[in-house]
């Protein structure tokens, strides 16, 4: 489609003006996902960051469709008048008794969005499920809340698209791009109805692949030989798997995010993908122009504060020779490579000690596991740090005032005599209470299941106890970092900026945003050749190492080889000089530009072109 004059062509322009007749045939692009206006995981990031690129090409002919949730809508959604074809279809949905909302998604680009209250389809859910079974052999258990929601959302979307097509087809072509099985139930239903538009389905991971990777010792070698149906039954995800499979087979264009996941699609869903759509970012959101090195220094100070509070009551080390490494992500212990990371840390600890290195590595594991609360000792250390700060500030002011008075009276006093007894005693008491005989904690929260927690157990097995003689210290923080978190008081992006290295050697990772976000914030990262991002770099950017991204070989290495390689990479990083670290941060930050949607959005545009071409 031509790029000219898009802003005048209307999927729902709020001024209600009709576009000139000759332009009305321009196609319409709808993008449908469970994570529209509803943050769950990485798909939210894909959709949200991609908006400016989509708006740039499609303008007002672009609209997203998602599930209505009152809570998220309060924050992310702004209603708009029901105008244009999309607005009219929403109006009709309402007349049919559906809670349908039309407006703008309040993210950069402010795209049109339709939010459907799928709960309204529950009143005839049994009929929809019956159709799914008779028409598509998808049997859905009665008591699975998630599957029921997905089916109800699928039906709401089907109905909405039918109403829209009645208004627009054949005058205007409609392309609908569905993401992930949770939005996929509408696809087979629409094909059965002979819906006149074109359908793209993108999977961001196969559900079965995720389960198998978590549980099977040699998932990738076995991939061609799995009996998908049998395995789905084994993991009790037959309905989900069949919805995903039906969406893959029912789409005109089937895509995924990387060649790693493309293999899974071929073997587990039985259809090779037509195109790969790698994930990008809106790099501008991260860009801090020439400021990012200063930001590193500023936020590193904040992390230093945490380190002082956490470690220094037990023993001291040189903060100037301390490096902060981190890993983060959803708590999929094996899939996200947390097992490998901890094993490699134990080896790094040994190597740094053997080498007599002056460096201390503080390693943060950031994920979300069920917890009761932040650990009392961790909070106490934090409170005491504040007490030190208050006492020091008070003494500074007191001494300053007394010194001023003495000096103006022509005396130079002994500074020691200027400290008020009250503050002297208070400081002594705090110093006394501050001292601890035990090593610093390795976990910041009280976990609900401390005895079975895999990260904690492996840290124990590897004897990473935060002992004084260990150059590698660990902080397991089983919650995501937000600005309201009392331990750091900074948000996740700021925390990343303050670190030195992100470590993400995933075993199962269709794409993997964490290392990409890390470099966008100017922090070098480690990924693996089993992550879509790593695989992309390995093939297309042989210069990735000098750009600050290392790729651990996991596809054809066993666990111990990979752990050695990872320990070696981290060890090499510890040997860099400050100047070399600064240079690497510069390279990483400028390289991240490659992954901006203005570059990778082209793949999406190709997919949409192909979908239009395949519409007969
Ligand atoms: C940034 C700051 C420098 C600081 C450096 C520390 O580049 O602009 O002032 O010296 O960070 O780097 P490091 O790798 O030691 O944390
Ligand atoms: C998936 O989210 P995940 O962390 O479950 O989709 C993301 C967006 O495409 C992708 O980056 C990630 O690798 C997948 O695993």
What's the 3-state SS for 209-237?
A: HHHHHHHCCCHHHHHHHCCHHHHHHHCCC
pLDDT for residue 23 is more than 80: no
Q: Map residue 32 onto helix, strand or coil.
A: strand
How remote is the CA of residue 43 from the centroid of ligand 2, in Å? 7
Give the pLDDT score at 376.
92
pLDDT for residue 10 is more than 60: no
Give the pLDDT score at 483.
92
Give the pLDDT score at 159.
98
Give the pLDDT score at 382.
84
Kindly state if the Cβ of 293 falls inside 6 Å of ligand 1. yes
Read off the tokens for 386.
């504040």
How remote is the CA of residue 510 from the centroid of ligand 2, in Å? 6
Give the DSSP letter of residue 204.
Answer: S
Q: How far is CA 116 from CA 70, 158, 268, in A?
A: 11, 11, 31
Least confident of 365-379, 388-402, 522-536: 388-402
> Element (H or E) spanning 474, and its range?
strand 472-477
CA distance 167 to 146: 32
Long-range contacts of 300-308 (CB under 8 A, 24+ apart): 300/324, 300/498, 300/499, 301/498, 302/488, 302/489, 302/490, 302/494, 302/498, 303/362, 303/488, 303/495, 303/498, 303/499, 305/385, 306/382, 306/487, 306/488, 307/362, 308/385
CA distance 590 to 447: 39
Residues 6+ apart with CB under 8 A from 213: 219, 334, 335, 507, 508
Q: Map residue 553 onto helix, strand or coil.
A: coil
Contact indicator for 117, 100 with CB cutoff of 8 Å: yes
Going by pLDDT thresholds of 50, 70 and 90, the confidence category of residue 29 is: very high
Long-range contacts of 17-26 (CB under 8 A, 24+ apart): 24/171, 24/172, 25/171, 25/172, 25/173, 26/1, 26/2, 26/61, 26/172
pLDDT for residue 17 is more than 70: no
Going by pLDDT thresholds of 50, 70 and 90, the confidence category of residue 288 is: confident
Mean pLDDT over each residue of the chain, to the nearest integer: 93
Contact indicator for 534, 615 with CB cutoff of 8 Å: no
Give the pLDDT score at 14.
44
How remote is the CA of residue 208 from the centroid of ligand 2, in Å? 14
Pocket test for ligand 1, best of 360, 361, 500, 582 (most atoms within 8 A of CB): 582
Give the ligand at the shortest distance from the Cα of 325: 1
Q: Map residue 112 onto helix, strand or coil.
A: strand
Q: 3-state SS of the chain: helix, strand, coil percent to 5? A: 55, 15, 35
CA distance 415 to 595: 58
Give tens-digit pLDDT for 183-215: 999 999 999 999 999 999 999 999 999 999 999
Q: Map residue 270 onto helix, strand or coil.
A: coil
pLDDT for residue 16 is more than 60: no
- Name the nearest CA neighbour of 214 among 509, 514, 559, 598: 509
Give the pLDDT score at 3.
25
Going by pLDDT thresholds of 50, 70 and 90, the confidence category of residue 244 is: very high
pLDDT for residue 391 is more than 90: no
Pocket test for ligand 1, best of 318, 578, 586, 587 (most atoms within 8 A of CB): 578
* Packing angle, helices 145-168 and 84-95, rounded to 10: 120
Give tens-digit pLDDT for 445-490: 999 999 999 999 999 999 999 999 999 999 999 999 999 988 999 9
How remote is the CA of residue 494 from the centroid of ligand 1, in Å? 15
Least confident of 2-11, 272-281, 499-508, 601-610: 2-11
CA distance 503 to 603: 28
Give tens-digit pLDDT for 357-382: 999 999 999 999 999 999 998 888 88
Kindly state if the Cβ of 42 falls inside 6 Å of ligand 2. yes
pLDDT for residue 269 is more than 90: yes
Which of the listed ranges 420-424, 433-437, 477-481 does the model predict with the highest average pLDDT? 477-481
pLDDT for residue 9 is more than 70: no
Residues 6+ apart with CB under 8 A from 135: 188, 189, 192
How remote is the CA of residue 582 from the centroid of ligand 1, in Å? 6
Give the ligand at the shortest distance from the Cα of 277: 2
Average pLDDT (32-52) is 95
Give tens-digit pLDDT for 540-595: 999 999 999 999 999 999 999 999 999 999 999 999 999 999 999 999 999 999 99
Kindly state if the Cβ of 257 falls inside 6 Å of ligand 2. yes
Least confident of 67-76, 244-253, 390-399: 390-399
Helices (H), 143-206: 145-168, 186-192
Average pLDDT (608-615) is 96
Average pLDDT (103-115) is 97
Give the pLDDT score at 6.
27
Q: Map residue 179 onto helix, strand or coil.
A: strand
CA distance 344 to 565: 8
Give the pLDDT score at 8.
30
Kindly state if the Cβ of 511 falls inside 6 Å of ligand 2. yes
Give the pLDDT score at 66.
98
Q: Which residues share a beta bridge with 101?
A: 115
């Amino acid at each position: 489609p031509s790029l000219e004059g898009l802003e005048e062509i209307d999927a729902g322009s709020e001024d209600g003006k009709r576009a000139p007749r000759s332009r009305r045939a321009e196609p319409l692009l709808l993008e449908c996902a469970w994570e529209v206006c509803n943050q769950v995981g990485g798909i939210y990031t894909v959709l949200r960051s991609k908006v400016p690129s989509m708006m740039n090409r499609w303008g007002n002919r672009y609209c997203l469709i998602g599930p209505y949730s009152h809570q998220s809508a309060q924050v992310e959604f702004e209603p708009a008048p029901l105008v244009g074809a999309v607005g009219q279809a929403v109006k009709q949905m309402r007349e049919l008794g559906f809670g349908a909302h039309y407006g703008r998604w309040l993210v950069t680009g402010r795209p049109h969005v339709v939010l459907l209250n799928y709960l309204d389809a529950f009143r005839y859910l049994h009929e929809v499920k019956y159709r799914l079974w008779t028409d598509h052999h998808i049997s859905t258990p009665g008591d699975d809340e998630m599957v029921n929601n997905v089916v109800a959302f699928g039906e709401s979307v089907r109905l909405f698209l039918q109403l829209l097509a009645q208004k627009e087809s054949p005058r205007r072509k409609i392309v609908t791009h569905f993401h992930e099985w949770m939005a996929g139930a509408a696809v087979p239903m629409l094909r059965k109805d002979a819906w006149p538009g074109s359908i793209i389905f993108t999977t961001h991971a196969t559900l079965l692949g995720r389960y198998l990777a978590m549980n099977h010792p040699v998932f990738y070698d076995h991939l061609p030989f799995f009996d998908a149906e049998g395995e789905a039954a084994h993991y009790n995800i037959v309905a989900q798997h069949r919805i995903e499979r039906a969406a893959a087979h029912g789409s005109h264009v089937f895509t995924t995010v990387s060649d790693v996941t493309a293999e899974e699609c071929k073997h587990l869903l039985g259809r090779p993908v037509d195109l790969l759509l790698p994930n990008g970012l809106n790099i501008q959101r991260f860009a801090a122009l020439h400021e990012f090195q200063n930001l590193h220094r500023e936020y590193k100070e904040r992390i230093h504060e945490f380190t002082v509070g956490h470690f220094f009551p037990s023993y001291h080390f040189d903060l100037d020779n301390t490096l902060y490494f981190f890993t983060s992500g959803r708590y999929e212990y094996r899939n996200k490579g947390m097992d490998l990371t901890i094993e490699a840390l134990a080896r790094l600890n040994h190597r740094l000690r053997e080498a007599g290195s002056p460096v201390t590595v503080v390693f943060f594991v950031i994920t979300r596991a069920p917890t009761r609360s932040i650990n009392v000792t961790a909070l106490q250390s934090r409170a005491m740090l504040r007490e030190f700060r208050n006492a020091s500030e008070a003494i500074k002011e007191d001494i300053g005032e007394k010194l001023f008075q003495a000096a103006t009276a022509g005396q130079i006093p002994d500074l020691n005599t200027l400290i008020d007894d009250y503050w002297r005693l208070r400081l002594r008491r705090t110093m006394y209470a501050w001292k601890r005989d035990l090593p610093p904690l390795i976990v910041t929260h009280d976990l609900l299941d401390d005895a079975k927690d895999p990260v904690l157990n492996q840290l124990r097995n590897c004897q990473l106890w935060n002992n004084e003689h260990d150059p590698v210290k660990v902080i397991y923080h089983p919650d995501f970092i937000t600005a309201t978190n009392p331990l750091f008081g900074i948000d996740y992006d700021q925390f990343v900026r303050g670190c030195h290295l992100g470590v993400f050697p995933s075993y199962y990772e269709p794409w993997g945003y964490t290392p990409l976000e890390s470099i966008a914030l100017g922090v070098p990262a480690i990924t693996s050749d089993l992550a879509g991002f790593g695989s992309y770099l390995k093939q297309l950017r042989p210069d990735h190492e000098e750009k600050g991204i290392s790729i651990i070989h996991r596809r054809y290495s066993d666990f111990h080889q990979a752990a050695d390689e990872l320990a070696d990479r981290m060890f090499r990083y510890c040997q860099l000089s400050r100047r070399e670290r600064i240079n690497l941060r510069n390279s990483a930050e400028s390289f991240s530009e490659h992954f901006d949607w203005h570059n990778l959005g082209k793949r999406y545009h190709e997919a949409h072109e192909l979908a239009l071409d395949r519409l007969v």
